[in-house]
Amino acid sequence: MRKIRVVRASLLLGVALVLSACGSGTSPVGVWIAPDGSKAFILDNGMCSGMYYNNGEPLDIGGGMTCAYSGNTLVVSQPPNQISYKVLYSGDTMTITNGSMSITFTRG
């Protein structure tokens, strides 16, 4: 009986550590607070919301939005629109840049 409890406790601890790692560090996955106070998010399946910016302003034309992340590049698509950002992390912030535009989000 004791072995089962130890295994269960170890398994639960492992799952908790994996889940906490999903929303921290240098991953864009999670909930973010935009500079205007609105919430944006990126899910691990690529669905996202509030991440498309045009001339420094959020743009949402309706329909699905997807985010693909590789290295320090974030590609946000909301057909027919698509934009690529360079991503920089510092503590609990993520700054996306595209040319002269720079938007800093705080992890929510």
Kindly state the greatest CA–CA separation across the chain: 62
Q: What is the DSSP letter of 12?
A: H
> What token pair was written down for 29?
């996955």
> What token pair was written down for 31?
């909930």
pTM above 0.85, yes or no: no
pLDDT at 26: 83
**Tens digit of pLDDT for each residue in 1-18?**
444 333 333 323 333 333
Q: What is the DSSP string of 41-103?
A: EE-TTSBEES--EETTEE---SS--EEEEETTEEEEEETTEEEEEEEEEETTEEEEEETTEEE
Within-domain flag for 11: no
85 and 73 in contact (C-beta within 8 Å)? yes
d(CA 49, CA 67): 9
**Tens digit of pLDDT for each residue in 40-74?**
999 999 999 999 999 889 999 989 999 999 999 99
Domain with 42, as residue range(s), is 26-107
Mean per-residue pLDDT of the chain: 82
d(CA 46, CA 40): 13
For the chain, the domain total comes to 1
Within-domain flag for 6: no
